[in-house]
Amino acid sequence: MAERRFGVGYALAPKKQRSIIQESLVNLAKSHGIDLVRIDTDRSLADQGPFDCVLHKLYGDDWKRQLAEFRVKNPNAVILDAPKAIERLHNRISMLQVVSELKIEHESNTFGIPKQIVIYDKETLFDRQAWEGLKFPVIAKPLVADGSAKSHKMALVFIHDGLDNLKPPIVLQEFVNHGGVIFKVYVVEGYVKCVKRESLPDVSEEEKLGSLDSLMSFSQISNLANNERTDDKYYKMMQLDDTEMPPQSFITDIARCLQQAMKLNLFNFDVIRDARFGNRYLIIDISYFPGYTKMPGYETPLPDHRRGAA
């Protein structure tokens, strides 16, 4: 008797599709008994398939309606992930609120989120009483985190004058020195992989007093890091090889608790180590269905996950 094969339909934006659905993934999936099939977004989803699992990263009311209709016709199919759960990550306040609700005990490490406030208008932006202890420098991020180019435009603000160039609604998040290294944690259901990457350089006390520009976009800082690595004023970063990874069990516990609380299977979260304490970790961002190709050996857990889900 022929082995039952599993059909996984994927609906992704063209850029995401080119990045994720590579020949190595398709071939590995086939060897696991899984057929990856592109969903035609110009046709009704309910008329396509059959699919044991729908993998998607599309948004909008029409797409949500199509997913609902598909679920009615295919009650046993798995949808990764539910639009309602994904939408929580489109707001930078609600995405991190879940972190504050987690209860995880670890013998030597703690975690949390940076201090942050949301600013909805210019009047509040310049109202110093609204800041409630938030000090410069701060990171300014758009409130909406929907994966668009606009949602990725962030800046490091050193002094009050830098606020002039910001357009609410925005989130102002305290900048915490973290050795110029960020830990990116990729989650594929039960699989958790933590990797380290270069991040914003630490800011010295001299720079906090305004020796730099009042505001610098992340792209400007990145260019300084790439072009002036020998200039200690702008780039004081530990070598990645010298940076100790967070305890795997600690990171895995956080990932699994986040997964349960958010009801998501495909996501990543960014973690920094607070340089003031050493054993204090801060979660600064959570993203749905990230660029898994940046995760070493990304092909391996995806087919296993999809087959298990289906």
Sequence ranges of the binding site: 16, 57, 92, 141, 152, 173-184, 199, 270, 285, 291
CB hemisphere CA count around 128 (13 angstroms): 5
Annotated binding residues for 1D-myo-inositol 1,3,4-trisphosphate, written as ranges, equal 16, 152, 184, 291
Q: Which two tokens stand for residue 100?
A: 């504050």
Q: How many CB atoms lie within 10 A of CB 250?
A: 20
Residue stretches of the annotated binding site for ATP: 92, 141, 173-184, 199
Q: Which amino acid is at 280?
A: R
Residue 309 CB coordination number (10 Å):
17
Provide the CA 105 distance to its chain's centre, in angstroms.
Answer: 24
Looking only at the bridges linking them, the beta strands covering 266-273 and 280-288 are antiparallel
C-alpha–C-alpha distance, residues 192 and 197, integer Å: 16
Q: Is the peptide bond before 247 cis (omega within 30 degrees of 0)?
A: no
3-class SS of residue 160: helix
**CA separation (Å) from 279 to 65, 71, 111, 272?**
45, 45, 8, 10
Tokens coding 160: 């009050």
The span from the first CA to the last CA of the chain, in angstroms, equals: 20
Report the binding-site residues for Mg(2+). 270, 285
